Structure 1
């Protein structure tokens, strides 16, 4: 099976699907049989891991962030995640809305008020409920939800997007290991990695869904006291959210997830604006600027601070817990970010993923967290401290109770929480479905419905049995091996980018304008093309009548030698693809593209643009066109490119860490 076939199929990959379902059932039954014991075992294991490997979590997180920033500023930042001539699939607002909704939009609603208030009342290095505690509380919140979180998500997303869209590997976590194990990613090792990623995603989503419906329940009870806080209401909420998620995954990425994500961002910004204007606006702006500056000036110290001399449990209960949880979620969020990032350059991807969500997060905490602290310190609303400590899920609604328009804000927030849950569930279902299908980008509807339904069933079942906390803790334990996988993936990405530079030099040497013309009389033909500016119809007919038959001739000749080549006809061009079992397919495309008339000829032309039959390989345009060539000349150019492909990929395999560059 070729790489292209592996990524195109929408069928369930049984070596991944069957073990995933079996392990899922085993964990559910085991947790249901004794949730208290399961919770104790997993909690003890988590405490041991964070205490023993806390240094590793912090160091790995720092490496992820520094690596991304260095890549973003390097010459490799101009490389596009896909063909060089491609464009981003989604506009920047839609892209940001989707990555934010899938990433941790719901976390901001849950922790935006709760975390600053909790750190203010119990700071690790300051006197409780003082100005120093307030400053430290906001610094901790910024650190926990700032650049480091998105560095983890961004690295995983970049690795997967690069290997999938630049080199044709499956959009699956297994592809991150290609530099290490090569084509064995399609065997048992790759299956195990994807099963592991699916389980982490599946139980992470299910437990978050189950635990967080308590916030919905709290909000509904706050608005309508007749609605009790109990499991019946929460199970009903899970059922309704699951149905909405099923509707979204059936609609697909463009109609479902994208539209819901844009709605989420619109509502979140709307709530932020209202709280900003009814709250202490000037104080919020002052705090935002000061906290951001303090964050940047202290980021290195906080990154490597493990409280080694105080031996406090705080670092394990907060910082390490959050970073470990993020690493455990990296396969899900990273793969989803990769899925929606095709066509962006590496620099756009990195700074879009790091800078924009981080600044939005800082502004969110300034508006909600600093306003909450202002109400406590300046207006004596310290009752909020006790309410938050008693129940984190009601923090946001108790905060609204101290502001004007509290009921209106609560109604919008409950709706926003629900839509965030739906977005997380449907995006998670799409990711799990893709992983269970070997990285397929398009899958049958029933598969997406199956995974979305399974998430809701797991959440509801474990909520009834009280086993959600145990499964959540188990999911976080998965962070340790995944951190190692991510470090290996970062090394593989660096090596691939080095090879990319060599490939670019080879392509540049091959991209000589006019190379397709024959030697005899070629100068007259080349000279005549300088004064020809054909329209779309002429170029389209040329591709159909000259280029396509030339490709068919080469296809027939290759078949005689036992090589299978496919020709794909598109609206504006034709593609020749040579399938190879062990290496990336050869890809040669001729496309009718529109260009501006050169300035030197613009006065003599009644049109502003003309059309060319441009030549592309997998990674982009070669810088010349074929219009005016004979069929033999097109064949010669195609064979020249095929020869370049074989020379680069096969000539010196010992010098390349892996052979996937065309």
Structure 2
């Protein structure tokens, strides 16, 4: 089977699966009963979390260890490309693009809500609110810190190494098929690329759904006559879909690059505004202390599964396993995109940039927004948790900003703009990667393929919101990640096998 045919088969198979899934989700639950998409996805999510949670946890630990090893190993000087290849983008643009692709919408959606929710519902129940606050920040850092960025760095490095060092097509399967006999490689390639595409579609659709929820929530919270309903969310998805499809026609060096630079600039402005308007000294103290707590407890948290407590295990399934699943479902897309923009960098430069810089920014982000939410809850009698519980997780940021008066309304407008631009860049980047996967790793895929995937992703995001909101989004992220777990393991084996053959 030739490369073009393999790619075409994976593309068609993936489109068919996604279209069937969309149709299934659109059928009202009242007609399907226990076979509705929401019900089935929820059951499968529960089974995967309960039976394979240990595998998610162990894999994320092994990947972090592997990435740290590569950062300091003798392989660090290997260039991702030929000896004379130079990076295509400046360091600032490179970091801005990988960060916008990696976590943009999620940071804004969960920035206030997650630490506040952990404050009132900690992993290990306690009546000591100050201890809960410490645990809330530590667990938030854990979910958004080194492990997810190590995952992106590891898979992105493998793809960049295979594409630019070994001169292979930029598809996931090229990092796996050398492990198999030639007669099986065609079939393996089709299966792996299909799994990667499906994981990407489900992972990105989840994030787009979160973005639509939060844009709608912010508009509704700020403008009383705009209802926070599915219809409004659908209108938001349609408008943003048109915008990111327009952006998708401009190429990486224009649309995504310009918007990513804008994203990081707006994000820094938003973060500094909240830092200096709020309890500045407290937030900076919290940042330093929480970083220390995180590194002190990282080994314990990394292996915690609640084996002796069903209540603790349920919390870990709902939070930690969901996050590991979400990051894994995003990994084919984010890692491929990071690999695409990283030609000419060394392994050490790549790993250091992807692992350290975004993690540091993420820690500061949650210290400012999550810390402000906790400060309001503990010391300013602002019952954020009640607002989040009654109006939805997506309202957390806007409820915090409301407490800052007139300036808070201005910042709210900037926040909604930032969510929208993150939405556009994430979707634009994802359509590029999906089109690349669908055309045998073509680094300049046809706009028609991007359009098809753009419509499919937005349709699935809309269907998931229609079928059950946040619960359906989370369930599908877990489903999309599970098959890709095993692809990651094979990628790692083949990569280290290839590294060992490098000459120094």
On whether the aligned pair clears a TM of 0.5, the verdict is yes
How much does 1:466 deviate?
Answer: 4.9
Q: Counterparts in 2 of 1:190-339, with a 5 A limit?
A: 190-312=189-311, 313-339=314-340
1:39 alignment partner in structure 2: 38
CA distance in 1, matches of 2:161, 2:211: 34
1:377 alignment partner in structure 2: 378
Q: Counterparts in 2 of 1:442-453, with a 5 A limit?
A: 442-453=444-455
2:173 alignment partner in structure 1: 174
2:356 alignment partner in structure 1: 355
SS in 2 for 1:226: coil
- Of residues 12, 19, 39 in structure 1, which corresponds to 2:13? 19
CA distance in 1, matches of 2:153, 2:119: 30
How much does 1:340 deviate?
Answer: 1.1
Contact 1:184 1:190 (C-alpha < 8 Å) held by counterparts: no
Question: Are 2:24 and 1:30 aligned?
Answer: yes
CA distance in 1, matches of 2:491, 2:202: 24
CA distance in 2, matches of 1:467, 1:416: 22
Distance 1:289 1:461, change over 3 A: closer
CA distance in 2, matches of 1:67, 1:147: 12
2:416 alignment partner in structure 1: 414
Contact 2:202 2:329 (C-alpha < 8 Å) held by counterparts: no
Contact 2:177 2:185 (C-alpha < 8 Å) held by counterparts: no
How much does 1:218 deviate?
Answer: 1.2
Question: Runs of 5+ in structure 2 lacking a partner?
Answer: none
CA distance in 2, matches of 1:455, 1:149: 22
Question: Runs of 5+ in structure 1 lacking a partner?
Answer: 505-662
2:63 alignment partner in structure 1: 64
CA distance in 1, matches of 2:278, 2:182: 57
How much does 1:469 deviate?
Answer: 4.8
2:386 alignment partner in structure 1: 386
1:600 alignment partner in structure 2: none
CA distance in 2, matches of 1:283, 1:95: 32
Contact 2:76 2:347 (C-alpha < 8 Å) held by counterparts: yes
How much does 1:124 deviate?
Answer: 2.1
Give the TM-score normalised by structure 1. 0.72
CA distance in 2, matches of 1:450, 1:33: 22
Q: Which has the higher contact order (CA 8 A, sep 6+)?
A: 2
CA distance in 2, matches of 1:136, 1:468: 24
Deviations 1:319-373 (CA, angstroms, capped at 9, x unpaired): 1111112112211111111111111100011111111111000000111111111
2:434 alignment partner in structure 1: 432
How much does 1:461 deviate?
Answer: 4.5
- Of residues 443, 450, 456 in structure 1, which corresponds to 2:458? 456
SS in 2 for 1:318: helix
Give the TM-score normalised by structure 2. 0.94
Contact 2:159 2:170 (C-alpha < 8 Å) held by counterparts: yes
- Cα RMSD after superposing both structures: 2.0
How much does 1:210 deviate?
Answer: 2.9
2:341 alignment partner in structure 1: 340
How much does 1:472 deviate?
Answer: 4.8
CA distance in 2, matches of 1:105, 1:425: 11
Structure number with larger C-alpha Rg: 1
1:496 alignment partner in structure 2: 498
1:145 alignment partner in structure 2: 144
How much does 1:183 deviate?
Answer: 5.2
Deviations 1:66-107 (CA, angstroms, capped at 9, x unpaired): 001101100100001111221111111111111111111111
CA distance in 2, matches of 1:268, 1:423: 14
How much does 1:486 deviate?
Answer: 1.1
Deviations 1:170-213 (CA, angstroms, capped at 9, x unpaired): 11111120331265686122112111211221232224323431
SS in 2 for 1:85: coil
Deviations 1:30-55 (CA, angstroms, capped at 9, x unpaired): 22235463222221221121111111
Contact 1:65 1:152 (C-alpha < 8 Å) held by counterparts: yes
Contact 1:250 1:449 (C-alpha < 8 Å) held by counterparts: no
Distance 1:124 1:456, change over 3 A: closer
Q: Counterparts in 2 of 1:479-494, with a 5 A limit?
A: 479-494=481-496
How much does 1:465 deviate?
Answer: 5.2
How much does 1:309 deviate?
Answer: 1.5
CA distance in 1, matches of 2:342, 2:184: 23
How much does 1:287 deviate?
Answer: 0.8
Contact 2:199 2:329 (C-alpha < 8 Å) held by counterparts: yes
